[in-house]
């Protein structure tokens, strides 16, 4: 069975007039002047996240701009579909999903093991190892048992790109299990799919200098499935001893085409059926695959261009690690590390974001950041998160002060969110420290309620610092907003606690202490606001009185 991902129309998209279509990759610029493609249109949000990375990777690998002038020109006047096809054809043989030769993102040779249901390629499904142990308690097997080729190719790429831990020998992706990706997103002047993907393609030389060995230009060094399967390193007691795949051993393009899992799709099924994901009728349905442990183990200083990284020092050794989404989602509290450097947490934005802010953003168009990823609990995907946030072009002269101010704003919000939650528990219970219930909804509502004001203030802060100000006014406005929202949330929840335990005096007391702390010195100091050093009003912040 042949299904070539360069030739076939398999990528679901939407055009500006609202019509849906399926395109081959090179057709991304088809109709650009009249009715351009404006978005991907996959049946699942994580499929859109996988497909955009597939397209960025393909263009980065075969049609990267030579320099920044080239990039700017092509962003506005993209290459024709014919010219893109010419570039993509140079790697066509690496994109066969089936056939006798190398297969896209699959093991070089046939694998002999028992079949797994195709739904194992969906990250939220119980993996082969989990099913084997019969511990798929939360997400049951067999909800997706058939996929069309379009969905299956996307699922396979997504699975190799996000690969979670899956038991001994089932390796995680080059960026760990379920990495966070952050992409630059255009505004209404740059709203085509081509521009979206090209905003995230680096100049050839810069990409090649990030990490990896650009002199290794053979296809097997770019697309691991084009050569003998790389096997991974295992701890003592396991049989796989292939060692790590480090950046020095392969071409930089591997970052987009890494293959940690050893998989072969079963493509001989000729049954005609409906795809359980997109609902399309397919005469070549795929219902199973084979997987064996011991795939490539990516080690060393990998720096993927779409992911932010942070420094972590353990036992005197500092490592640079990819950022992953955390419970609670992606909100403005993460803005600093995703858009600008966060020196408190040693977090550095993704290279494409850094490049855009420092060298490419030349006008005041409202570009945004699209951040997405899974919240993983080891081998289980708890949730898919995605969020957009504004990108700001901050002048180098004021950048350090701006970053410090924003860090203070986020810390002040964290303190007040924590304090509000604690005050609600104090209002509800005689012994709030004993409460085991989950009241994180108070924090989540707080973050959501203050988000739009936060972004408004960033613009004001930028103007103020640019005009020689100290950001005091922004700090005051933010302080007022945080205090108001805290009180609003407290009033909403405090009077609706467990009835048998209700005590009006305790509620009034908790409210008073909440205000005292929110208007106290610690919060003012974080926001750079003047405060009375002699004051002791927050010596006993209610958030700290008892473990909560
Ligand atoms: Zn489908």
Q: How far is the CA of 150 from the centre of ligand 1 (A)?
A: 6
**What is the pLDDT, as a whole number, of residue 138?**
40
Q: How far is the CA of 277 from the centre of ligand 1 (A)?
A: 5
The pLDDT-based confidence of 114 (bands split at 50, 70, 90) is: very high
436 contacts: CB under 8 Å, gap ≥ 6: none
Q: How far is the CA of 538 from the centre of ligand 1 (A)?
A: 58
**What is the pLDDT, as a whole number, of residue 500?**
58
Mean pLDDT of the chain: 89
Q: How far is the CA of 146 from the centre of ligand 1 (A)?
A: 8
Phi and psi at residue 249, in whole multiples of 5°?
-90, -10
Strands 297-298 and 244-245: parallel
**What is the pLDDT, as a whole number, of residue 471?**
94
- Torsion sign, CA atoms 251, 254, 255, 260: negative
Q: How far is the CA of 527 from the centre of ligand 1 (A)?
A: 51
Residue 122 sits at the vertex; the CA angle it makes with 116 and 126, to the nearest 5 degrees, is 60
What's the whole-number mean pLDDT along residues 352-375?
A: 89
Q: How far is the CA of 115 from the centre of ligand 1 (A)?
A: 20
Q: CA 148, CA 475: separation in Å to the nearest integer?
A: 54
Q: How far is the CA of 274 from the centre of ligand 1 (A)?
A: 8
**What is the pLDDT, as a whole number, of residue 142?**
61
Domain ranges of the chain: 11-298, 394-548
Q: CA 327, CA 321: separation in Å to the nearest integer?
A: 18
Check whether 247 has a pLDDT greater than 50. Answer: yes
> What is the 3-class SS of 254-297, one letter each residue?
HHHHCCCCEEEECCCCCCCEECCCCCCEECCCECEEEEECCCCE
Report whether 261 contacts 163 (CB < 8 A). Answer: yes
Report whether 275 contacts 146 (CB < 8 A). Answer: yes
Check whether 325 has a pLDDT greater than 80. Answer: yes
What's the whole-number mean pLDDT along residues 40-57?
A: 97
Check whether 2 has a pLDDT greater than 90. Answer: no
Task: Give SS3 for 321.
Answer: strand
Q: How far is the CA of 155 from the centre of ligand 1 (A)?
A: 10
**What is the pLDDT, as a whole number, of residue 380?**
78
Q: How far is the CA of 42 from the centre of ligand 1 (A)?
A: 9
What pLDDT, in 10s, does the model give residues 381-432?
888 999 999 998 888 899 999 999 999 999 999 999 999 999 998 888 877 6
What's the whole-number mean pLDDT along residues 79-104?
A: 97
DSSP states along 105-157: TS-SS---S--EEGGGGSTTSPPHHHHHTT---SS-S-S---B-HHHHHHHHH
- What is the pTM (predicted TM-score) of this model? 0.91
Position with higher pLDDT, 190 vs 141? 190
Q: How far is the CA of 409 from the centre of ligand 1 (A)?
A: 45
Q: How far is the CA of 282 from the centre of ligand 1 (A)?
A: 8
Q: CA 91, CA 514: separation in Å to the nearest integer?
A: 62
**What is the pLDDT, as a whole number, of residue 185?**
95
Q: Which residue has the tokens 């081959």?
A: 24
Q: How far is the CA of 288 from the centre of ligand 1 (A)?
A: 14
**For 156-160, 163-167, 351-355, which range has the lowest pLDDT when averaged over its residues?**
163-167
Q: How far is the CA of 471 from the centre of ligand 1 (A)?
A: 52
**What is the pLDDT, as a whole number, of residue 140?**
46
**What is the pLDDT, as a whole number, of residue 136?**
43
Tokens of 191: 């709203």
What element of type H or E holds 215?
Answer: none
Q: How far is the CA of 244 from the centre of ligand 1 (A)?
A: 35
**What is the pLDDT, as a whole number, of residue 268?**
87
Q: How far is the CA of 37 from the centre of ligand 1 (A)?
A: 20
Check whether 107 has a pLDDT greater than 60. Answer: yes
Q: How far is the CA of 272 from the centre of ligand 1 (A)?
A: 12
Q: How far is the CA of 516 from the centre of ligand 1 (A)?
A: 57
Check whether 203 has a pLDDT greater than 90. Answer: yes
What pLDDT, in 10s, does the model give residues 340-349?
988 888 999 9
The pLDDT-based confidence of 364 (bands split at 50, 70, 90) is: low
- Count of alpha carbons within 13 angstroms of residue 65, beta-carbon side: 21
**What is the pLDDT, as a whole number, of residue 464?**
96
Q: How far is the CA of 281 from the centre of ligand 1 (A)?
A: 8
Q: How far is the CA of 148 from the centre of ligand 1 (A)?
A: 4
Q: How far is the CA of 286 from the centre of ligand 1 (A)?
A: 10
**What is the pLDDT, as a whole number, of residue 499?**
57
Burial 103-133 (b: 16+ CB within 10 A, else e): bbbbbbeeeeeeebbbbbbbbbbbbbbbbee
Check whether 233 has a pLDDT greater than 70. Answer: no
What pLDDT, in 10s, does the model give residues 408-417?
999 999 999 9
What's the whole-number mean pLDDT along residues 478-482?
A: 98
Q: How far is the CA of 459 from the centre of ligand 1 (A)?
A: 43
What element of type H or E holds 205?
Answer: helix 204-210
Q: How far is the CA of 119 from the centre of ligand 1 (A)?
A: 12
Phi and psi at residue 224, in whole multiples of 5°?
-55, -25
Tokens of 445: 């509502």
Phi-psi region of 109 (alpha: psi -120 to 50; beta: other; left: phi over 0): beta
What pLDDT, in 10s, does the model give residues 162-180?
998 888 888 899 999 989 9
**What is the pLDDT, as a whole number, of residue 542?**
43
Q: How far is the CA of 43 from the centre of ligand 1 (A)?
A: 8
**What is the pLDDT, as a whole number, of residue 53?**
98
**What is the pLDDT, as a whole number, of residue 417?**
95
């Amino acid at each position: 069975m042949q299904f070539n991902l360069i030739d076939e129309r398999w990528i679901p998209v939407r055009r500006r007039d609202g019509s849906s279509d399926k395109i081959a990759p090179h057709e991304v610029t088809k109709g650009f002047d009249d009715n351009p493609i404006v978005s991907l249109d996959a049946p699942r949000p994580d499929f859109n996240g996988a497909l955009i990375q597939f397209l960025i990777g393909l263009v980065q690998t075969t049609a990267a701009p030579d320099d920044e002038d080239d990039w700017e020109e092509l962003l506005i006047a993209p290459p024709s579909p014919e010219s893109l096809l010419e570039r993509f054809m140079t790697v066509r043989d690496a994109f066969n999903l089936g056939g006798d030769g190398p297969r896209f993102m699959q093991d070089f040779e046939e694998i002999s093991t028992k079949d797994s249901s195709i739904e194992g390629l969906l990250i939220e499904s119980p993996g082969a190892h989990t099913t084997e142990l019969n511990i798929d308690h939360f997400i049951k097997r067999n909800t997706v048992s058939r996929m069309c080729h379009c969905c299956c190719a996307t699922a396979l790429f997504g699975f190799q790109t996000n690969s979670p831990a899956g038991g001994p020998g089932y390796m995680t992706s080059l960026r760990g299990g379920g990495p966070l990706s952050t992409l630059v997103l255009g505004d209404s002047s740059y709203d085509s799919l081509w521009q979206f993907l090209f905003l995230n393609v680096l100049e050839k030389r810069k990409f090649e200098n990030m990490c990896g060995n650009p002199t290794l230009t053979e296809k097997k060094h770019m697309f691991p499935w084009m050569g003998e399967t790389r096997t991974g390193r295992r701890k003592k007691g396991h049989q796989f001893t292939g060692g790590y795949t480090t950046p020095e051993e392969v071409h930089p393009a591997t970052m987009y085409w890494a293959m940690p899992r050893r998989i072969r799709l079963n493509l001989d099924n000729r049954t005609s059926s409906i795809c359980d994901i997109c609902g399309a009728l397919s005469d070549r349905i795929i219902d199973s695959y084979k997987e064996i442990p011991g795939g490539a183990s990516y080690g060393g200083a990998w720096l993927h261009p779409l992911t932010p990284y942070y420094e972590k020092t353990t036992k005197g050794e500092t490592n640079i690690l990819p950022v992953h989404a955390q419970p609670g989602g992606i909100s403005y509290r993460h803005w600093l590390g995703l858009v600008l450097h966060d020196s408190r947490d040693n977090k550095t934005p993704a290279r494409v974001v850094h490049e855009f802010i420092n060298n490419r953003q030349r006008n005041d168009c409202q570009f945004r950041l699209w951040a997405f990823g899974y919240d993983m609990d080891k081998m289980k995907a708890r949730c898919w998160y995605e969020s957009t946030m504004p990108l700001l072009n901050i002048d180098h002269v004021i950048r350090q002060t701006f970053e410090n101010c924003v860090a203070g704003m986020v810390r002040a919000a964290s303190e007040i969110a924590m304090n509000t939650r604690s005050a609600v528990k104090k209002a509800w219970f005689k012994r709030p420290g004993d409460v085991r219930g989950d009241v994180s909804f108070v924090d989540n509502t707080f973050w959501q309620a203050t988000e739009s004001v936060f972004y408004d203030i960033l613009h004001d802060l930028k103007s103020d610092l640019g005009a020689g100000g100290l950001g005091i006014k922004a700090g005051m406005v933010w302080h007022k907003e945080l205090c108001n929202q805290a009180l609003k949330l407290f009033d909403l929840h405090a009077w609706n606690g467990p009835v048998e335990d209700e005590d009006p005096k305790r509620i009034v007391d908790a409210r008073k202490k909440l205000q005292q702390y929110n208007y106290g010195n610690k919060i003012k100091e974080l926001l750079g606001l003047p405060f009375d050093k002699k004051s002791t009003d927050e010596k006993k912040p209610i958030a700290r009185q008892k473990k909560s």
